């Protein structure tokens, strides 16, 4: 079994950037809806969601396995967003959930490879 750390790191980076674009595209309209920002936030939100969709096309394959792995990275990124943007301190179950999601993604991503 060969394991290419560089390509795995690139894929993780792509997953992370895709997750940030998705989160930003959803967060900015929330600011407008809750009255914490102007309607002008909808423009960068739309651009962020366009970037999110484009970034999805860069993923290695449009398959359930890839998107399941992306989902775990999204969960981890969303938890980081909770800390950095929302200023909320995660609790032990947040960390456990992220760990389980990433472990599940590793099983999905690495489990199908043949020796």
- Reduced to 3 states, what is the DSSP secondary structure of residue 58? coil
- The model's pTM is 0.82
Name the residue range of residue 44's domain: 5-111
Asked whether the beta carbons of 21 and 48 are under 8 A apart, the reply is yes
Domain count along the chain: 1
Asked whether the beta carbons of 89 and 65 are under 8 A apart, the reply is no
How many other C-beta atoms lie within 10 A of the C-beta of residue 12? 14
Tens of pLDDT along 4-43? 666 778 888 999 999 999 999 999 999 999 999 999 999 9
Tens of pLDDT along 32-75? 999 999 999 999 999 999 999 999 888 777 677 788 888 999 99
Instruction: Give the pair of three-digit tokens for residue 109.
Output: 């991503």
How many other C-beta atoms lie within 10 A of the C-beta of residue 45? 20
């Amino acid at each position: 079994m060969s394991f290419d750390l560089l390509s795995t790191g690139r894929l993780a980076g792509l997953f992370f950037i895709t997750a940030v674009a998705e989160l930003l595209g959803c967060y900015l309209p929330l600011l407008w809806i809750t009255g914490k920002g102007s309607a002008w936030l909808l423009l960068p939100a739309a651009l962020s969601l366009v970037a999110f969709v484009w970034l999805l096309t860069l993923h290695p394959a449009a398959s359930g396995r890839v998107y399941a792995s992306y989902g775990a990275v999204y969960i981890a990124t969303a938890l980081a967003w909770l800390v950095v943007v929302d200023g909320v301190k995660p609790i032990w179950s947040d960390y456990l959930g992220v760990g389980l999601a990433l472990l599940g993604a590793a099983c999905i991503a690495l489990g199908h490879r043949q020796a």
